[in-house]
Structure 1
Amino acid sequence: GMIVIFSHYRSSVDVKRILSKNLLTASLIISIVFIGTMLTGTALESYQYNKIGFKGWFYAANELGATIAILLPLTLLLALDKVRSFSKAYYWIPFILLAVSSIMLGTKVGLGAVILSLVVATVILFAKLFTNKRSLIKANLVISILLLIVTGATTPISPAYKNTYTHIDMLEAKKEKTEKEKPEKKEKEKPAKKKKQKESNLDDKDIQNLILSSREQFLAHHKEEYAKAPIARKMIGMGFSGDYTKQLPPKMIEMDFYDLFFSLGIIGFLLWVLPLLVVGLTVLVRLFKDPSQLLDESFMMYSTAIVLALGIAFVAGHVFTAPAVTIYFAAAAAYLFVIHFKQRQA
């Protein structure tokens, strides 16, 4: 749909300007509402138990986090386009507001998106120091480095960082409880050895749980259902959330590629993913023909938004299964496919 719209209007209107304006408007609405609720003490909490974080007046923290993550590099692009001296540093304000919202959300996705966006921008700007446009990017480079330093310095007190250690404590407490429930076969074990066992690191299964937040358990269940399903259902899908009974209510994995594969089956998933492959391969071929795109702020920020969307879809979900999030991914992908390279050729 986005490709059709952009293709239809690209010859009559400035699609890039209008798209940028609307993306900026969306980011400002989200960040102003979010920070406003924080200041007034009316923000809803992202988590019900143990972990900390806020989601403003928005309903779903995961979907909000994915939306903000995609918008972050696109909002940062405004500063890269507009700031040519420190007198115009105020163009960084929309990104800073959105970054604060992203970090206070309390998810790993939010903090990671801020860091990745700033790192990509800093690398591009640093590379441009060796071009003939270095005088135009010095202000942006200094600001991006300062923001990276501030983000790094405040990470240890951020909700996402604290939530990570809360999750680790929960996993360790669960392991200790499991160990206590086991029959004591080695009562005469040496104290030194017991101490060493207590200080042992989390195993691979615990690390997986820390990263995926128990999604791996739902994935294992769906894999088991899929293995038992007849060949017809393997080909055309298991339906929403797979097979379930009254005793087992429907539960999605919340990892979009897996959810779509099990729901749509082999045939449905291939049909669904085909447009993404066409767009992705086309953009990669154009990049191969014109590697200078790697120093183009617009290309890199839109690409960063797409990479974030794909990464979040694979690990945390709520991108391709949530229209409120997918629309931003679709806009970014369609822009690179239809507008960006055509503008450069023009």
Structure 2
Amino acid sequence: MDKSTNTVNKFILVFIVIQPIMDILTTFTLSFPISVGSLLRTLFMSVLFITLFICFSHKNKKKNFTLMIMAFSGVLVSFIINLLLKSHFNWIWELNFYLKVSYFLVIIFAVLYVNERNCVSTRTLYTATTITSYIVGCTYWMAVLTNTSINSYRYDTSGYSGWFFSANELSAITLILFGLMSIQLIQKKQLAHWFAYIIILSMLPMIGTKTAFIGGLVLISITIAYILWKLRLKIWRDWHAIAFIMIIFLFACFIPYTSIGNNSPPENHVSPTQNELKANSELEALSTYELLSQKILSSRDIYFAEIKKDYLHAHILRKIFGLGYAGDYQNEPKLIEMDFFDLFFSLGIIGSLFAMLPLIFLVKHLIFKKPYFEIKYLLLFTIVGLSVGIAFLAGHVLFAPSAMTYLSIPLMLIGGHKNEQTQTS
């Protein structure tokens, strides 16, 4: 490993490890004109953008350079058009959103650069993941046990987000870390990985969100299926497998006493009031599809309808390059919180297409290579798939700089593993 590559690895290690620290500091500095996390990530994004711009400007990187120019031109044009044509343009809200979109693009291009250059060791990424898991898990339980945790929901639904401001972002982060620790547990089975796995596992039902819990169940199911297949169902031959099954069994036993268990429909039947009877009759009138949509979308369909209306009545230039942040808001703006729809309505037909091209190019780069049918690839692609699913249904992934940083880890690991396999073959 040459000196420059070693420097990149150290930088990546430190940057990943300080992510949860920045998130916690952000929570406690939200009342400031600019939070610690926003300031540091903006500085990081600016430095990385300049670095990538210089690197891609070389002759052998013209494709990446062209993609970069197109993507950021779409963002810049969208910003300028909405600055000129939007009736209510709040500089703070709008600039904050466009910076988040830019952060998403910078991370995608950074992953492309890392995977093409193969300049980050998979060992560095896994080490950073383990350390970060301890920081996230320990601070989370410190917040819960000291009764200083932020509630995941404002109203009746139960859940804890620790000292992390957004439960939705924490759900995506926890799910990514949990999947990566599952790979660590399968590959190395060291005591440090066991503890990190357990502490992240314990968070899944406590956050209270469906995304963290259901996604965690998917990853657990894949891991159990792999262990049973590898041992031909004879788990008594491997004490690691026995320990894992026991941990999952205890996890299942404690679910009814966790936040996600409290959020499930009650089993007991209490005599309904007149209002409840009326509500029940209205629910019965809805189709199964409508009920399922309400449950999954959580009123996002309402915000979708409002922004869609804004889009249909917008100036032609704003249809092409987007409505900016949250459509034509009058008072407090509200995103749909479905990342791909937010991207389309915010950047328009051309802007969103330009922004998606780097992601499509990255996916092509990761998938259409020589395939390797191993459990680590299955879990890595599952992590990415679940994250994309969360982005589509619940948001807070692509335009959440913290979650997007964590998502870059499995994306770099897929490319890194493939590069290592290619080099050793």
TM-score (ref. length: structure 2): 0.66
SS in 2 for 1:120: helix
- Say whether 1:273 aligns with 2:347: no
Q: Aligned residue for 2:330?
A: 245
CA distance in 2: counterparts of 1:277 and 1:36, whole angstroms = 40
Q: Aligned residue for 1:344?
A: 421
Amino acid corresponding to residue 326 of structure 2 in structure 1: S
Contact 1:43 1:54 in 2 (8 A): yes
- Going from structure 1 to structure 2, the CA distance change for 1:8 and 1:264 (only over 3 Å counts) comes to same
Q: Aligned residue for 2:410?
A: 332
Deviation per CA, 1:234-271: give whole Å up to 9, x if none: 2111101111224xx21101111111111011111111
- Going from structure 1 to structure 2, the CA distance change for 1:99 and 1:55 (only over 3 Å counts) comes to same
- Say whether 1:165 aligns with 2:265: yes
Amino acid corresponding to residue 203 of structure 2 in structure 1: S
Q: Aligned residue for 2:97?
A: none
The correspondence of residues 187-226 of structure 1 with structure 2, limited to 5 A, is 200=284, 203=287, 204-226=289-311
Given the alignment, which residue of 378, 385, 389 partners 1:307? 385
SS in 2 for 1:241: coil
Deviation per CA, 1:270-327: give whole Å up to 9, x if none: 11112222222333323xx53xx33x23212221221121011011110001111101
Amino acid corresponding to residue 4 of structure 1 in structure 2: Y
Q: Aligned residue for 1:98?
A: 200
Contact 1:69 1:305 in 2 (8 A): yes
Q: Shift of residue 38 of structure 1?
A: 1.8
Q: Aligned residue for 2:24?
A: none
Amino acid corresponding to residue 137 of structure 2 in structure 1: S
CA distance in 1: counterparts of 2:362 and 2:249, whole angstroms = 36
CA distance in 1: counterparts of 2:185 and 2:142, whole angstroms = 23
Deviation per CA, 1:39-79: give whole Å up to 9, x if none: 22222211221111111111111111111111110012211
TM-score (ref. length: structure 1): 0.79
Deviation per CA, 1:163-221: give whole Å up to 9, x if none: 2438xx9xx999847x48xxxxxxxxxxxxxxx95994864333212112211211121
Contact 2:143 2:163 in 1 (8 A): yes
CA distance in 1: counterparts of 2:211 and 2:273, whole angstroms = 25
Q: Aligned residue for 2:321?
A: 236
- Going from structure 1 to structure 2, the CA distance change for 1:161 and 1:222 (only over 3 Å counts) comes to farther
SS in 2 for 1:18: helix
Q: Aligned residue for 1:186?
A: none
SS in 2 for 1:104: coil
- Going from structure 1 to structure 2, the CA distance change for 1:251 and 1:42 (only over 3 Å counts) comes to same
Amino acid corresponding to residue 250 of structure 2 in structure 1: V
Amino acid corresponding to residue 76 of structure 1 in structure 2: S
Contact 2:130 2:193 in 1 (8 A): no
The correspondence of residues 1-346 of structure 1 with structure 2, limited to 5 A, is 1-8=110-117, 10=119, 15-83=121-189, 88=190, 91-129=193-231, 138-165=238-265, 176=276, 179=278, 200=284, 203=287, 204-246=289-331, 249-286=332-369, 289-290=370-371, 293-294=372-373, 296-336=374-414, 338-345=415-422, 346=424
CA distance in 2: counterparts of 1:6 and 1:199, whole angstroms = 50
Between the aligned residues of both structures, percent identity stands at: 29
Contact 2:322 2:345 in 1 (8 A): yes
Structure 1 alignment gaps of length 5 or more? 181-195
Amino acid corresponding to residue 132 of structure 2 in structure 1: A
Amino acid corresponding to residue 273 of structure 1 in structure 2: M
- Going from structure 1 to structure 2, the CA distance change for 1:215 and 1:201 (only over 3 Å counts) comes to same
Contact 1:52 1:159 in 2 (8 A): yes
CA distance in 2: counterparts of 1:135 and 1:159, whole angstroms = 31
Contact 1:254 1:318 in 2 (8 A): yes
Deviation per CA, 1:99-157: give whole Å up to 9, x if none: 11222111111211221111111222333236xxx999944443443344333333333
Contact 1:72 1:113 in 2 (8 A): no
Contact 2:205 2:261 in 1 (8 A): no
SS in 1 for 2:205: helix
Q: How many residues end up aligned between the 2 structures? A: 309
Contact 2:324 2:346 in 1 (8 A): yes
- Going from structure 1 to structure 2, the CA distance change for 1:201 and 1:157 (only over 3 Å counts) comes to farther
Across the aligned residues of Structure 1 and Structure 2, the Cα RMSD in angstroms comes to: 3.0
Contact 1:70 1:329 in 2 (8 A): yes
- Going from structure 1 to structure 2, the CA distance change for 1:140 and 1:261 (only over 3 Å counts) comes to farther
Contact 2:134 2:196 in 1 (8 A): yes
Amino acid corresponding to residue 302 of structure 1 in structure 2: L
- Going from structure 1 to structure 2, the CA distance change for 1:137 and 1:273 (only over 3 Å counts) comes to farther
Amino acid corresponding to residue 380 of structure 2 in structure 1: Y
